[in-house]
Chain A
């Protein structure tokens, strides 16, 4: 090869290109061919994941805007007093239910004691006849069933 032929040969070498099929096969071998082949095709899963990514991005961006503009206080909503069982409002509601039940127990007990007492004064019969032996004073007392039976039994 003469000195004149060397630049000519270099120009020829510059135009050399690898065979396209050979390039594709080499690339598949290096990167795990099947995955690469699949990666090229759109699938439902791929479309769904892309959709999810877009939605997540939009949601995060929206949250960031809310936090930056002060419309959402992360502390207020994630505070231990809201999340945990130390929320005073919830504690108060439960404590009030207990106090109410104590009150109702007292009322029930008093009612039971009152019910056990006769509600009318059963006086001695005014007449000797057994038929007219009841002398209630209906205008001034309440006659409950027990008192009614007491009056009839006299």
Chain B
């Protein structure tokens, strides 16, 4: 049992790291420093006449727009992957995931549709398209990314909560089997653990409700963090129970 638990948690820790690293994909696509160096060089190139300068700048600006669209697509693919493979514990969670994926698809499709228009743009057109894409991009960076991150964290937490509940059940059964439930100190600790877990459950449920209402990440993330911190306190009590039982039953 011990080995199985350790193995399961190794897998969980591994998946957490992989999930985080996955978002850091394709750094080159999303680095615009080189492109703007070129644009600056074209703007300052005294050897070009006005028409050639405008033409050179237009080409670079179009390339930047195409790169923004490619980068946006990569970001959306990474965000989709973050929540697309995790198990949803309830129908409501499944619905929320579908809504978030639909929001990502909508942005991706819009950017793809704009991509087809780039060839026809003039300088003013590239300015206007940039402003338009900026509005859509803000939707992804400011809202959807935060929502997807929160939802991904929350989904991962559900396995941790399930494990904590199982742990509490096993501890209760063990204390009963060892006839330790009559011990006032131990039963007091067990009650504390149950209370803490119930509080953590409550915070966890509130976090989901906030996500389902599309509240900002500034509201949701603290709730998720509170639920985890209360869960962490519950485990501190489990350790206290373990220590107390050790003193009663030498091993």
Interface check A50, CB cutoff 8 A: no
- Which chain A positions have C-beta within 8 A of B123? 130-131
Query: What are 5 A-B pairs at a CB distance below 8 A?
Result: A101-B153, A108-B20, A108-B149, A141-B33, A152-B65
Q: Are B40 and A80 in contact (CB under 8 A)?
A: no
Q: How far is the CB of A114 from chain B (nearest CB, A)?
A: 10
Q: Are A136 and B36 in contact (CB under 8 A)?
A: yes
Q: Are B68 and A145 in contact (CB under 8 A)?
A: yes
Interface SS of chain A: helix, strand, loop or mixed? helix
Q: Are A91 and B235 in contact (CB under 8 A)?
A: yes
Cα distance, A20 to B232, chains bound together (Å): 84
Q: Are B130 and A153 in contact (CB under 8 A)?
A: yes
Cβ < 8 Å to B, chain A residues 68-92: 75-76, 79-91
Q: Are B40 and A101 in contact (CB under 8 A)?
A: no
- Which chain B positions have C-beta within 8 A of A150? 130, 134
| Contact code string B137-150 (vs A, CB < 8 Å = 1, else 0) | 11001100110011
Residues of chain A at the chain B interface (Cβ within 8 Å):
75-76, 79-91, 93-102, 104-109, 111-112, 115-116, 127, 130-136, 138, 141-154
Cα distance, A42 to B133, chains bound together (Å): 89
A102-B225, A104-B20 are contacts. A148–B160 as well, Cβ < 8 Å? no
Q: Are A84 and B225 in contact (CB under 8 A)?
A: no
- Tell me the nearest residue of chain B to A90, going by C-beta: B5
Cβ 8 A contact of A149, one of B6, B35, B58, B68: B68
- Tell me the nearest residue of chain B to A134, going by C-beta: B39
Q: Are A130 and B124 in contact (CB under 8 A)?
A: yes
Cβ < 8 Å to A, chain B residues 196-229: 217, 221, 224-225, 228-229
Q: Are B32 and A94 in contact (CB under 8 A)?
A: no
Task: Tally A-B pairs: CB < 8 A.
Answer: 195
- Tell me the nearest residue of chain A to B10, going by C-beta: A93
Question: Besides the contacts A84-B173, A148-B35, what 19 more A-B pairs have beta carbons closer than 8 Å?
Answer: A79-B251, A80-B174, A85-B173, A86-B174, A86-B241, A87-B2, A95-B236, A98-B228, A102-B225, A102-B229, A104-B16, A104-B20, A108-B149, A116-B141, A130-B127, A143-B31, A145-B75, A149-B134, A151-B130
- Which chain A positions have C-beta within 8 A of B93? none
Among listed B84-92, B94-102, B242-250, interface-contacting one: B242-250
- Which chain A positions have C-beta within 8 A of B2? 82, 87, 89-90
| Contact code string B165-187 (vs A, CB < 8 Å = 1, else 0) | 00100110110011000000000
Cβ 8 A contact of A146, one of B37, B134, B232: B134
Q: Are B32 and A147 in contact (CB under 8 A)?
A: yes
Q: Are B138 and A146 in contact (CB under 8 A)?
A: yes
Q: Are B241 and A148 in contact (CB under 8 A)?
A: no
Q: Are A97 and B228 in contact (CB under 8 A)?
A: no
Q: Which 5 residue pairs spanning A and B have beta carbons closest together? A: A85-B170, A152-B130, A84-B174, A143-B32, A153-B130
